[in-house]
Amino acid sequence: MKRSLLLVFITFFLFGSVASAAKLRLHIPISTSWSGDSSSAEFSSTGYSVRGIFGLFGAGYTQSDLKAKWTNSSTTYTTNAIDVSLTPIDLFTVGYGIVTGGGVSNGTLDSSSGSTTFFNLNFGLGPVDLLAGYRMWDATHKRKSGSESKLKYNEIGVGVGFGF
């Protein structure tokens, strides 16, 4: 009997309930703050994050377009990442991602590197989740000209998820 209860506990811990065995989530940024070196630019971001969660573990893809606007010009940096996540309870998801590529509006990139970390709060309403999250970016874009841009910024976002 004890072994059966232990097996049931482990199953629910690793794979969640039957109602939340698999989820698909979409997340978008609504607010951006710069945390890098001092800058006179105004920053904003757009983008999306798509994540599949299977029980306790998830995998996702994120694209963030950071726009830096000065008085007479602006530049948009695109950063792409793949990430993994852990959802130990249905209310909370935490994850880490690796920058896989990117782009810049006024030049050609040689390479992109860096990481992203995030956490989401998940508010379930039956098979639908409402999401509120915080994502931190630490990326470096190297241009073919030799210059590089270090991007350190944070995004607050909202989203929706669907259980299957």
Q: What is the pLDDT of residues 25-36, one digit of tens each?
A: 999 999 999 988
Maximal C-alpha separation, the chain: 72
Domain boundaries, the chain: 2-163
Please give the model's pTM, rounded to 2 decimal places.
Answer: 0.84
**pLDDT score of 19:** 46
CATH class of the domain at 2-163: mainly beta
Quick: pLDDT tens for 120-135.
Answer: 999 988 889 999 999 9
Average pLDDT, the chain: 89
Q: First vs last Cα of the chain: how many Å apart?
A: 31
